[in-house]
Amino acid sequence: MAGPRVSPWSPIWNRFREDRFAVGGGIFILLLVVIALLAPVLPIRNPNHGYYELLPANGAPLSPGGTFLLGSDPNGRDLLSRIIWGARISLFIGFVANGLALVVGVMVGALAGYLRGWFETILMRVTDIMMAFPVLLFSIAIISIIERGSVLVIVAVIALFYWTAVARIVRGQVLSLKEREFVEAGRALGGGPQHNLLHHILPHLVPIIIVYGTIGIATSISTESILSFIGIGVQAPTADWGKMVADGQDFMFVAPWLVIFPGLMILLTVLAFNLIGDGLRDALDPRARALFRGVIGGVAAGSAGLAGQRLGLDSEAEPT
């Protein structure tokens, strides 16, 4: 077995790239991120400037394909620019809000699962209470009280509600990992809770964090779109997909593109993140012990052996 040294991630990547939907989703998000990042330097119009002078006398929005590639809204704003700039808001809120939710969720879940006792009781009851709130109603209340339209408040509100799901799953995992031999060994060798959590348990949580992190981005983006749609999210004139759908619905019969394009972007983005999440879950299947050894244990495995493993796992994880 004198094969070349293989990165521990490569078997996962190999499995992931066989899921065409997940790869498609990944390419879509990658493109979206690149375009969103480049928005300020791309040769596109100011998304918030209304070119009223280009509108006809009756103020009807311009249809796609003419002056504006994707048409204009009734304020004479370029829909293409607004969609690109809207991607920045959606992705920013998706990544940041969900990142916050992950950090809080993993911390709460891991501590609760590892330390148990009254600590766990309190943390998990708080989690239960948070999960019992009707998310949208509560978000509306909080945003109305604090500050309408502030991106940071929206991020905080989304994070506030979505850490709970992560916390529960992580706690469950920690509960079972904690009883495993390698953690016991760590304890027996005198490792404290901090050492055991960081060095023995946390690495095993990485796949879960990745999978739920990706799917959570989708949830965060759709939540943000809903908040903006009902008028308490991002405020005018900032371009935002949810707000664009809300603004466009009056004109649905006159200018259907006002609803279709931003609506499609929300749909595709959320779908793409979900597909990536699904693909990653399959690729990181917790049942694939060898795989985990390969990745988390840092054991370099021969490509031939892994290939065999992978075939076997494929039939298990992907019945297609």
Binding site for another protein (CB under 8 A): 48-50, 52, 55, 57-60, 74-75, 235-237, 247, 249-254
Instruction: Measure the N-to-C terminal CA separation of the chain; round to a whole number of Å.
Output: 32
Q: Show Cβ contacts of residue 43 under 8 Å, excluding neighbours closer than 6 positions.
A: none
- DSSP annotation of 78 reads B
Closer residue to another protein, CB minimum distance, 29 or 232: 232
**Cα–Cα dist 306/11, whole Å:** 7
Q: Which of 19, 23, 25, 71 is nearest to 45 (CA)?
A: 71
Name 72's bridge partners: 78
Torsions phi, psi of 40, nearest 5?
-65, -25
Distance between CA atoms of residues 82 and 238, nearest Å: 8
Cβ closer to another protein: 52 or 119?
52
The smaller minimum CB distance to another protein, of residues 10 and 48, is found at 48
Nearer to another protein, 7 or 249 (CB): 249
Q: How far is the CB of 90 from another protein (least distance, A)?
A: 20
Return the number of the residue (8 or 237) whose C-beta is nearest another protein.
237
CB 71, min distance to another protein, A: 14
CB-nearer residue toward another protein: 118 or 253 = 253
| Closest separation in Å from C-beta 227 to another protein | 16
Rounded Cα gap, residues 36 and 141, in angstroms: 31
* R_g of the chain computed on alpha carbons: 23
Min separation Cβ 80 and another protein, Å: 18
Q: How far is the CB of 98 from another protein (least distance, A)?
A: 28
Asked if 241 and 266 touch (Cβ cutoff 8 Å), the reply is yes
Please name the amino acid found at residue 129: I
Least CB distance to another protein at residue 50 (A): 6
